[in-house]
Amino acid sequence: MILVAGSANMDFVVRAAHIPSPGETVLGRDFKTYPGGKGANQAVAAARAGGVPTHMLLALGADAHAEPLEASLREALVKLHLVRVPDQTTGCAFICVSDDAENAITVAPGANLSLQPRHLPPLVGFSHLMLQLETPLATVTAYAQAARRQGVTVVLNPAPAQALPAPLLEAVDILIVNEGELAALAGHQGSIAQCLERIHVPTVVVTLGHHGCCARSHGVFFLQEAFDVTPVDTTGAGDTFCGSLVAALHLGADIPLALRMASAAGALACTRPGAQSSIPQAAEVTAFLAQQPPPNPARITALRYLCGLTGPASPR
C-alpha cells in the first residue's frame, strides 16, 4: 500500500488566451471547478493510473467544497484518513489555463495547514509515503522522519518550491522535482547534472516538460524522452507523473520502467482538462504505451545534452 499525506484543494479554473502579466486583466472564457490539490492528485494517480491500493491523510473544512473532494478520492478507491477542521475553509486553488495549455496557480491552503504530526496514521503495511509542501513544513518533516524510522520509503515532491531543512532532506529516499525546483534546492543555476551533485538524496527524478525526464539513482543516470501528445491542459500532469511513478516502484518496476510508465500517464493527463479529472486509468496507460514507437536515439542524445551529461552532438 501507498500512503499520501498532503493537500486537497478545490480548483477554480478559467481558460484564457494567455496568462495575465502583473497588473494585467485578461478576459477569460470557460470557468469550471475541479477536485485538485497536489496530495489528492497524486493519491488518485497512484490508485487510478498506477492501480495500487492507496490511502490518503488529508484535512478538509466543513464547507461545500469538501464534499466533491471526498467524492473524487473515494471514486478513485482511495481510502481516506480525514481530519475535519470546522473552523477553516477547505483549500482552494485559482488557476488560469492559457490556449497553449500552460497554467498559473495561486493556492489558498485553508484546512491543509491544520495537518499536524499527531495525525499520521500507523505506517504498518505501507511501502511508500508520498509528501508535498502544501501542508506545514514541520509536519512534513515529522512524517518523513517517522516513516524513515519505520523503514517506509519516503518520497517528496517539494512543491511549491521553498528552502528545505536538512532533517527533512536527510529522511527522503526519492525526490521528484521539476527543473526550477531542482535549481532552487541546489542553490545553483548550472546544468541539471551539476545541480544534482549538490542534492544528497539517494534517488532524484527531474521532470523536464516536453523534453522528458531524467533520474539519478545511487549515482546512475537514467533518461526518458517525452511522449508526443497534443496538450489541452497541463494542470495536474506533474502530480500524475509523481503518483504513477511511485505506484510503479511499489509494484516492483525498476527506475527505467517506472519513468516510462509515469511519463505515459503524465502525457495522457495533458490531453484532458482539470487535475484529477484528467488522470487516466491503468488500462489506458498500458494501451498508450503499446502504441508508442521504440526510443528515438537522437532525442535521447538531445536529452543527455540538455541534462549536462554530454557535449553538443556533432553536426551531420
Query: What residues act catalytically?
Result: 239
How many residues are recorded in the chain? 316
d(CA 45, CA 36): 11
150 to 124, 125, 167: CA distances (angstroms): 8, 11, 16
Annotate 252-279 with b (16+ C-beta within 10 A) or e (fewer).
Answer: ebebebbbbbbbbbbbbbbbbbbbbbbb
SS3 call for 254: coil
Which residues does residue 36 pair with via DSSP β-bridges, in sequence order?
Answer: 9
Indicate the DSSP class of residue 260. Answer: H
d(CA 129, CA 155): 6
Alpha helices in the chain (DSSP H): 38-44, 66-75, 137-149, 166-170, 179-186, 192-197, 237-250, 255-270, 282-290, 297-306
The alpha carbon dihedral of 143, 262, 106, 111 has a sign of negative
